[in-house]
Structure 1
Amino acid sequence: MKLTHIEHLGIAVKSLDEAIPFWEQKLGMKCYSIEEVKEQKVRTAFFKIGQSKIELLESTEPDGPIGKYVEKNGGGIHHLAFAVEGLQENLDELASKGAQLIDKTPRKGAEGLNIAFVHPKTTGGILMELCEDPNKK
């Protein structure tokens, strides 16, 4: 594996409009980007902290992955994302070691990153996202 750093921590929220003020007003962080990822039925809001980010996730559809998560859990930490070098190679390596992948090939995610998810059954209960910036290849 070629992990470089924690890319972001994904936090599912019911509403970005309700969640963003806490991060900005109480913690003094600045939301630098809000983006909709239609394929994933989600709106995201990003905050930078050091080299890593916090990604707030709001569902745009009740049947989307975040909508289902919020319905079941009421929100909270959804996933841990690592930045990697060579996303497809890392996925192939994980698969060869018996890891259960949600995505066998990368797909587009927020901020223009290529992403893929590893199933929580493999990671001890944590949904893991691997991210690669296609502009840093």
Structure 2
Amino acid sequence: MSGLLGNHIVTQIGILVHDIEKVSEAYAKFFGVEKPNISWTDGYELAQTEFEGKPSQARAKLAFFDMGSLQLELIEPDHHESTWRNYLNEHGEGPHHIAFSVKGMQEKIELLAQSGFPLQQKGEYPGGRYAYIDTIPQLKVLVELLEND
């Protein structure tokens, strides 16, 4: 299997929300599971977040539901400009991205950019990094790359 990512296994679906407490409670009830802990993304010092090529103070509250073969991620962004805040403002609540695990993050970002899929936002998290690729014109949803150490 080739393709631009090196795999085609969706590992996560990200959903933007205005009220993560309320929506995570609704998902927990719907699936009959425990409501997950809600955490904040790290600040710039640790996350090194960049949005559209510039450093960003953007943060978000996150909740994760492990659903067997994939994870549902609920995202409630803060007010700073970011892929999350801008998309929520423009499109309202709902799906934001599908995520894939990759190896060689920087090489994948460069390959995708050369193929007409520019980097929109990237950052670090404990144990890895993420990158949102602007695939909306072609795929109608953002693609997120996840690389764990």
8 Å CA contact retained: 1:16, 1:45: yes
State how many pairs are aligned.
Answer: 131
Among all aligned residue pairs of Structure 1 and Structure 2, give the percentage whose two residues are the same amino acid. Answer: 25
d(CA) in 1 for partners of 2:140, 2:16 = 16
More helix by share: 1
Runs of 5+ in structure 2 lacking a partner? 44-56
Q: Please, which of 108, 120, 140 is the counterpart of residue 102 of structure 1? A: 120
d(CA) in 2 for partners of 1:14, 1:26 = 19
SS across alignment from 1:61? coil
Amino acid at match of 1:27: F
TM-score (ref. length: structure 1):
0.79
CA-to-aligned-CA distance 1:28-75 (integer Å, 9 cap, x gap): 233444221144321100000113100000122264443333333220
CA RMSD of aligned residues (A): 2.3
1:117 matched to which residue of 2?
A: 132
Runs of 5+ in structure 1 lacking a partner? none
Greater alpha carbon shift after TM alignment, 54-63 vs 15-24: 54-63
8 Å CA contact retained: 1:118, 1:127: yes
Q: Which runs of 4+ in 1 moved over 6 A?
A: none
1:91 aligns with 2:106: no
